[in-house]
Structure 1
Amino acid sequence: MIPSRASFRDIPLYSPSKTPCRVDLGDNTNLFGVAPAAERVLRESAPALLSRYPRGYAPDLRGALAARVGVAPEAVTTGCGSDDVLDSALRAFLEPGEVLAFHVPTFVMMPLFARVNGLRVRQVPPREDFDLDAEALLATEAKVLYLCSPNNPTGTVLSRAAVERVVERAPGLVIIDEAYADFARGPDFMDLARTRPNVLVTRTFSKAWGLAGMRVGWGVGAPALVAELEKARGPYKLTTLAEAMAVAVLEEGSDWVAARAALAVENRERLRAELVALGLSPLPSEGNFLLVPLPGAVQVAERMRERDVNVRAFQALPGVGDALRIGSGPWPLLETALVALRESLR
């Protein structure tokens, strides 16, 4: 066997428990289905497209996204999911051995991306209210700072004051991951990507937009920043079909997406009330999920899977402890999950 990098050998595969279940609330994807505009593209696509490479760097999608957020196409990047955009940004702006810093708990892939890219990590514990400790993050002096709002897995949002403080004083790039922005009631941080040279805001079509299986992510930043990121990304990260479906949903399906996102939020709060009635205390959430602190969450999740319901279990999250993350979707699915949870808690 040819040995891998010494720092690479003990990196685990990303492998959350995925026992097939009839009700799967573990991934926070859009459980209401696929936008009609995307279905139409799938139905009408010519098979001959499959034998040709897609157009390099997804120009149609970049143009559609640029029009939506009010920037030039040169300020938009795309990728195979927003995690691809994040990974590409680390490769573009950090040399091996340099430091990536982020608040914890946060997106579980960030420490993995850091290790794969040979980076060092500085983790900043949360404040009691789960807002960003701006001074502690800046004190790391990391060249790249990663923020997530609404945060995964907590669902909490970062304050405008804390984020602006970080952006103003950061020594390098500030990445703001807004994968769940479509569910949040407050303002987002996209304006910072439009106006600050050191900010990259990333988003995804995998959550509210219903295209998780097509793997489409995107980001917005200064054109000079995006030009460097595009080098790390590579030319063919989006398939022809994925790009066409994303453009169609953007241009024809925004109302469909907004309506389902609103319903996910409505059902999330209905779920919260039921969990509180069970004596549980879900964290405040602006995502399409709830994080529920619960000792022995891993065992509870396993008992739920035995009842054909999948939720995501976490152990020893900083500031939280053990917890279940339960995605929101159509109410019948959440009702089934509640029955399984009640039985599993017994």
Structure 2
Amino acid sequence: MNSYSSARDEFKDIQKKMVFLDANENPFENGINRYPDPQQNELKNVISKIKSINKDKILIGNGSDEVLDLVFRVFCEPNKDNIITLPPTYGMYGVLANLNAIENREVPLTRNFELDVEAIVNQIDNNTKIIFICSPNNPTGNSFSDEKIITLLKQFSGIVLIDEAYIDFSNKESWLKWLQEFPNLIITQTLSKAYGMAGLRIGLLFASKDIIAILNKIKSPYNINILSQKNAIKVLEDTVYTSSQINSIKVNRRDLIKELLQIYFIYKVYESDANFILIKVDNANWRYDQLLKNNIVVRNRSNEILCDNCLRISIGTFEENEKLISVLKTLK
């Protein structure tokens, strides 16, 4: 299969000042009248430097949802293949499996929210193409054992996809350093969380050159608009500001955990490597409604396996967290 060759793909020399009469664009300059770089080269250069990884191992998508969907379409055959997910986990994996007519084999985490490697391996057959591992995990907040993930990478010949949407809030290292050793490893990240660009919808995928080349064949030619690219570069280059925000979220997370432990109807506060905290309460539906009446929106995760009566609370600003605790202390 050949990818669509866009007008900007055919023109590579960005140093020359050219007259562009190739793409049927409006010729009057306003900053957005030209099509964006389909390969987002300038943005990839910045990401490459920050992540210490070659740009030919990077794919950029319209949010993580797009890059995850591309992985499904490349590696799975509809109505034949299956994937393995590890609930409780990010619900979009199951949604995309259903959308692409792929069987989703769910292997629950253990009671302490760890990978059950033996159970996962037992679910693998010749049509199993991808294992999805969210680490730090959503909604539990914990990171998984390196040893167990390495075991899966060695025992499974298909794709192991590690979703690192929350890696910047963890003290653990990214799995990016393992890409060279495991050609079946794919890592996804996002600019929506730590980098504060949820409104731009920019997802990142890191893999071998061969995998990136295949994914590039089926991605939309202009999937990242020019404003998103420019704004992302601006934010990414201000590393001091981003680091400051990440550190503030970590401090606020630590302080919020201490306060939550003092609330009488909160039975458990789970450890978190993410920018949210999972808590177990006496009655999640009731407490969710109480908070909503006080103009505070959290996420009720009680319908997920192993998360009975659990609420997920994002780490807010100092003032937002103070308001949350103040309201929680008034609830009866």
Establish whether TM, by shorter chain, passes 0.5. Answer: yes
In 1, distance between residues paired with 2:85 and 2:157?
14
Aligned partners of 2:263 and 2:328 also within 8 Å: no
Within 5 Å, give how 1:244-323 maps onto structure 2: 244-250=230-236, 252-279=237-264, 280=266, 281-323=268-310
> What SS does the corresponding residue of 1:293 show, helix, strand or coil?
strand
Matching residue of 2:20: none
Runs of 4+, deviation exceeding 4 Å = none
What's the counterpart of residue 8 of structure 1?
Answer: none
TM-superposed CA distance for 1:323, in Å, is 1.1
State the shift of 1:49 in Å: 2.9
Counterpart amino acid of 1:122?
R
Q: String of CA shifts for 1:146-204, please: whole Å, max 9, x gaps.
A: 00111011101011101111111112111100000100012221112243211111111
Q: CA RMSD in A?
A: 1.7
SS at match of 1:187: coil
Residues in 1 aligned to 2:153 and 2:301: alpha-carbon distance in whole angstroms: 30
CA shift, 1:295, in A, is 4.2
What code does the residue aligned with 2:231 have?
M
The question of 1:230 aligning with 2:230 is answered no
**For residue 211 of structure 2, what is the amino acid of its counterpart?**
L
The verdict on how the C-alpha distance between 1:164 and 1:332 changes in structure 2, with shifts beyond 3 A counting, is same
Q: Deviations for 1:5-48, whole angstroms, at most 9, x for unmatched residues?
A: xxxxxxxxxxxxxxxxxxxxxxxxxxxxxxxxxxxxxxxxx982
Partners of 2:121 and 2:33 in 1: CA distance: 48
What stretches of structure 2 of length at least 5 have no aligned partner?
A: 1-27
SS at match of 2:250: helix
Alignment of 1:31-46 (within 5 A): none
Aligned 8 A contact 1:298 1:314 in 2:
no
3-state DSSP of counterpart to 1:106: coil
Matches of 2:294 and 2:56, distance apart in 1: 49
Match in the other structure for 1:16: none
CA distance in 2, matches of 1:145, 1:47: 47
Is the contact made by 2:61 and 2:202 (CA closer than 8 Å) also made in structure 1?
Answer: yes
The whole-number CA distance in structure 2 between the counterparts of 1:47 and 1:315 is: 52
Q: 2 CA distance for matches of 1:299 and 1:110?
A: 29
CA distance in 2, matches of 1:299, 1:237: 42
Distance apart, 1:125 and its partner CA:
1.1
The answer as to 2:167 corresponding to 1:168 is no
Counterpart pick for 1:140 among 123, 129, 152 = 123
3-state SS, counterpart of residue 48 of structure 1 = coil
Percent identity (aligned): 29
CA distance in 1, matches of 2:95, 2:86: 15
3-state SS, counterpart of residue 47 of structure 2: helix
Residue of structure 2 aligned with 1:85, choices 54, 67, 72: 67
What is the CA–CA distance in structure 1 between the aligned matches of 2:275 and 2:184, rounded to whole Å? 29
Q: Deviations over 1:260-297 (max 9, x none)?
A: 11111111111111111113211110001100112432
The answer to whether the 8 Å contact 2:298/2:311 transfers is yes
Q: 2:311 aligns with which of 307, 324, 329?
A: 324
Are the equivalent residues in 1 in contact too, given 2:78–2:101 (CA < 8 A)? yes
Q: 2:48 is matched with which residue: 54, 66, 72?
A: 66
Provide the rounded CA distance (Å) in 1 between the counterparts of 2:306 and 2:97: 22
State whether residues 92 and 231 of structure 1, in contact with CA within 8 Å, keep that contact through their aligned partners in structure 2.
no
1:197 aligns with 2:211: no
Give the deviation of 1:333 after TM superposition.
0.3
Tell me whether 1:124 sits opposite 2:110 in the alignment: no
Residue aligning to 1:107:
90
TM-score by length of 1: 0.82
Partner of 2:188, secondary structure, is strand
C-alpha separation in 1, matches of 2:40 and 2:243 = 24
Distance 1:47 1:90 in 2: 39
Q: Which amino acid aligns with 1:79?
A: G
Match of 2:302, SS?
Answer: strand
Residues 233 and 322 of structure 1, relative CA distance in 2, 3 Å threshold:
farther
- Deviation sequence 1:53-91 (CA, Å, 0-9, x none): 211121222222223323322110000112221121111
Q: Which residues of structure 1 form unaligned runs of 5+? A: 1-45
State how many pairs are aligned. 299
User: TM-score scaled by structure 2?
Assistant: 0.86
CA contact (8 A) 1:295 1:321 kept: no
- SS in structure 1 opposite 2:179? helix
Please tell me whether the aligned partners of residues 75 and 223 of structure 1 are also in contact (alpha carbons under 8 angstroms): yes
Q: 1:240 to 1:307 in 2, by over 3 A?
A: same
Q: Give the secondary structure class of the aligned counterpart of 2:73.
A: helix
